[in-house]
Amino acid sequence: MNTDIEDFINTKNKMGPDDYNNFDVYKWDVKGIKKIFENLLIMLKENNEFLNVSDNNILYKKFEPELNKQMRKSKIQGLRKSILLNVLNNVLTINDFNEDLRDNFKIMKLLLRKKPMRNISGITSITVITAPFPDGQKFSCKHNCYYCPNEPAHEGNGWQAQPRSYLFHEPAVLRANQHKFYAIGQMLNRMDTYFSNGHVIDKLEIIVEGGTYTEYPVDYLERYHRDLFYAANIYFDLRKVYNNYDNCLNEKLDLELLSNIRQPLSVEEEIKINKTAKVHIIGICIETRPDALDDEWLWRFRRWGVTRVQLGAQHVDNKILKKINRGHNVEQLLWAMKYLKDNCFKIDIHIMPDLPDASPEIDKAMFDYVYNIVCPDQMKVYPCQTVPWTVIKKWYEAGKYVPYFDKDPQLLIDVVRYSMETCPKWVRLPRVIRDIPCSVYVEGGNDIANMRQMVDKLLDSDNVYSNDIRAREIGRHSKYYNKPAKYCTMQYYANEGTDYFISYESYDERALFGFIRLRIVEEKNNMTKFEILKKRGLIRELHVYGDTTAVSSFDKHGCQHTGIGSGLLARAEKKTMENGLYGIVVISGEGVKEYYEKKGYKEIDTFMIKDFWFFEVWFYYLKKNYSNSCILIISSIILIIILYLI
């Protein structure tokens, strides 16, 4: 019997009443609830002009009051959204409603979702945390950065030490502790939550955090990745085995039922299964240090499905890096950036303003350097916070370190604003401010958990817009869905290579529908370690925004699977040929490789590859680099040579 599964089920039996919608849907007035749905569907039919997108703000503002009105009118005690969603998921189907109302059934489910912004970026993210002592190893990170917490076992965390840099009461860490850091339990927990809240469980991006990934035992990590794919592959099988899965707390589960769930296979076999599974893993992101990479790790990354790497950069001033005992310098960061990009990986970095010896001026200069020299794809802005179990806490208590936030919070607000206001169009800021419970842990430094929202409002009031990708995602600007858009290509030199950011966006550049990242590696300085990548264009990311649409499906109200991705891909292929390269490579998540196969790509060494026809490459290369008359002359010469050889 698989221990991870057993532990998950046993833990699930002990959870509280709010954890998996702990109620029996059959105890509710299903007939009365169906009447609520019918009235909501009629309302949606009457407001058909607002059904252009699934998360349209106008429609949502109309829907919410009507929903509350219908729930009050039903007089069903204790009714709430989660119950309505469970009835839709477990009792009623689209066929239970009149045919003239069925067109808006999916829209109604989407509007009923709790936390609808979760799917707005086109994917569903799940964060999992690795163990503090993997396979008995005595550390999860062998370094001692002075700002980084090293929480020991104590009564407040159930006598369970935490992975380095993570704190027990952080939301993802709490879930990890609840499931004893097993990957399967954490995965099923998050998928349950998304499912019960009405979200699409299909395109998953898994973010693996906890300690320094590349300092964990290899065998442990291989099992961990296997279990990530296994959990995704068997999720709906598990729901099928337990007919009343969402109500499993009200009865004792018989572990013998698990005999109907197959055991995990090898990581390669689970990855292969995931290509055609109901729940697709479209990307895996791991977290490590710039000085903890080598060729063997690159091979493991690809073998285990890793597509994105988070690097802890923290700062670009070597004096500050030395002060905090970081253990690497900015030169190693720049090496790691080029190393990963030349091998087709997407890259996030973590940056920390307000570290010891920093000032607002130094930190603003740091962001300039990051945007112009480091050139990450994504950046998390995590101002330094003084928390327990750190060296800087001792400095803080002794008066040796005073954050400039403590002197004047506006100083840090201005720095954070600067990072958002000067952000290039091709950089995404997925997080600004770390999700640390301030009232529990923060003793010095930033204690404004919603600083990003504060800065957003300041920018809006000054009629200033951030170019950050996240701020421009189409799901946050639904009024642009019906407005014309255009393809744009931005070329920039980064990390000794040429990067292209090809996007589809509104004419005023406020709303972004999707983008592709293409890299052309310089032949003389390339650090490419995979033979298949050499002399080819590298597609490091293809992303279409809007509400998550299941792979191979179509949503007339959204923008995924409507041809935007194909248009971006075609432009990247053309740009590659203009650079005289005869092929292109995609670092694809396992769950979407079939998409590329339909576009003429084939899988070689975990990458998706497409080769171009010789004459096609020459045509685009000559067209870009020479005049039309030269193209005609050169083409004629080539044709004469071919005819002669024939």
Residue 90, pLDDT score? 77
User: What is d(CA 66, CA 78) in angstroms, rounded to the nearest whole number?
Assistant: 17
Report whether 316 contacts 279 (CB < 8 A): no
User: What is d(CA 243, CA 193) in angstroms, rounded to the nearest whole number?
Assistant: 17
The rounded percent of the chain whose pLDDT value lies above 70 is 86
Q: Which two tokens stand for residue 451?
A: 């600083």
Q: Which two tokens stand for residue 337?
A: 């950036």
For Cα atoms 136, 310, 145, give the angle at the middle one, nearest 5 degrees: 60
User: What is d(CA 244, CA 157) in angstroms, rounded to the nearest whole number?
Assistant: 32
608 Ramachandran zone, left/alpha/beta (phi>0; psi -120 to 50): beta
169 by Cβ neighbours in 10 Å (0-12 / 13-18 / 19+) ranks as middle
Q: Does residue 123 surpass a pLDDT of 90?
A: no
Sign of CA dihedral 368, 373, 377, 383: negative
Report whether 321 contacts 358 (CB < 8 A): no
Residue 251, pLDDT score? 38
Q: Which two tokens stand for residue 443?
A: 């003793």
Is residue 57 very low, low, confident or very high in pLDDT (cuts 50, 70, 90)? low
304 by Cβ neighbours in 10 Å (0-12 / 13-18 / 19+) ranks as buried
Q: Does residue 289 surpass a pLDDT of 90?
A: yes
Q: Does residue 630 surpass a pLDDT of 50?
A: yes
* Edge-first strand listing for the sheet containing 124-129: 124-129, 203-209, 280-288, 306-314, 346-351, 378-381
Sign of CA dihedral 282, 287, 290, 292: negative
Is residue 247 very low, low, confident or very high in pLDDT (cuts 50, 70, 90)? low
Write a three-state SS string for 145-175.
Answer: CCCCCCCCCCHHHCCCCCCCCCCCCCHHHHH
User: What is d(CA 545, CA 475) in angstroms, rounded to the nearest whole number?
Assistant: 7
Residue 252, pLDDT score? 38
Residue 561, pLDDT score? 41
Taking alpha carbons only, the member of 160, 282, 168, 175 closest to residue 228 is: 282
The rounded percent of the chain whose pLDDT value lies above 90 is 68
Is residue 544 very low, low, confident or very high in pLDDT (cuts 50, 70, 90)? very high
Residue 550, pLDDT score? 45
The 8-class DSSP code of residue 53 comes to S
Q: Does residue 556 surpass a pLDDT of 50?
A: no
> Could you tell me which residue, 556 or 143, shows the higher pLDDT?
143
Q: Does residue 459 surpass a pLDDT of 70?
A: yes
**What is the identity of the amino acid at 251?**
E
- What number is the average pLDDT over the span 411-421? 98
Taking alpha carbons only, the member of 241, 303, 294 closest to residue 271 is: 303
Residue 262, pLDDT score? 87
User: What is d(CA 364, CA 437) in angstroms, rounded to the nearest whole number?
Assistant: 26
User: What is d(CA 22, CA 248) in angstroms, rounded to the nearest whole number?
Assistant: 8
Residue 615, pLDDT score? 85
> Could you tell me which residue, 639 or 276, shows the higher pLDDT?
276
pLDDT in tens, 60-79: 788 889 999 999 998 888 88
Residue 8, pLDDT score? 36
Taking alpha carbons only, the member of 395, 411, 396, 313 closest to residue 361 is: 411
> What are the backbone angles phi and psi of residue 610, rounded to the nearest 5°?
-140, 125
User: What is d(CA 412, CA 296) in angstroms, rounded to the nearest whole number?
Assistant: 40
Q: How many CB atoms lie within 10 A of CB 105?
A: 19
Taking alpha carbons only, the member of 419, 427, 428, 423 closest to residue 455 is: 419
Q: Does residue 210 surpass a pLDDT of 60?
A: yes
* β partners of residue 571: none
**3-state SS, residue 317:** coil
Is residue 85 very low, low, confident or very high in pLDDT (cuts 50, 70, 90)? confident
- What number is the average pLDDT over the span 441-462? 96
Does an H or E element contain 454, and which?
helix 451-461
**3-state SS, residue 322:** helix
Q: Which residues are CB-neighbours of 451 under 8 A, at least 6 positions away?
A: 383, 412, 413, 416, 432, 433
Q: Does residue 492 surpass a pLDDT of 60?
A: yes
The 8-class DSSP code of residue 56 comes to -
User: What is d(CA 273, CA 277) in angstroms, rounded to the nearest whole number?
Assistant: 6
Residue 401, pLDDT score? 98
User: What is d(CA 42, CA 606) in angstroms, rounded to the nearest whole number?
Assistant: 49
Lowest-confidence pick of 78-82, 290-294, 377-381, 513-517: 78-82
Does an H or E element contain 283, and which?
strand 280-288
pLDDT in tens, 334-353: 999 999 999 999 999 999 99
Residue 248, pLDDT score? 53
User: What is d(CA 315, CA 37) in angstroms, rounded to the nearest whole number?
Assistant: 53
* β partners of residue 11: none
Report whether 602 contacts 594 (CB < 8 A): no
Q: Which residues are CB-neighbours of 277 under 8 A, at least 6 positions away?
A: 232, 233, 591
- What number is the average pLDDT over the span 159-184? 95
Residue 49, pLDDT score? 65
Report whether 548 contacts 124 (CB < 8 A): yes
Residue 323, pLDDT score? 98
Taking alpha carbons only, the member of 389, 320, 423, 313 closest to residue 152 is: 389
Q: What is the mean pLDDT of the chain?
A: 88
End-to-end Cα separation, the chain, in angstroms: 66
Distances from the Cα of 45 to the Cαs of 42, 53, 59, 135, 438, in angstroms? 5, 14, 11, 57, 45
Residue 121, pLDDT score? 58
Residue 258, pLDDT score? 52
Q: Which residue ranges form the domains of the chain, and what is each CATH number?
A: 1-284 (no CATH), 475-612 (3.40.630.30)
In terms of DSSP H, where are the helices of 254-355?
Answer: 267-274, 295-303, 318-323, 330-341
> What are the backbone angles phi and psi of residue 438, rounded to the nearest 5°?
-60, -40
- What number is the average pLDDT over the span 610-622? 91
Lowest-confidence pick of 20-29, 151-160, 484-493, 570-579: 20-29
Q: Does residue 112 surpass a pLDDT of 90?
A: no
pLDDT in tens, 364-414: 999 999 999 999 999 999 999 999 999 999 999 999 999 999 999 999 999
Lowest-confidence pick of 242-256, 476-490, 534-548, 585-599: 242-256
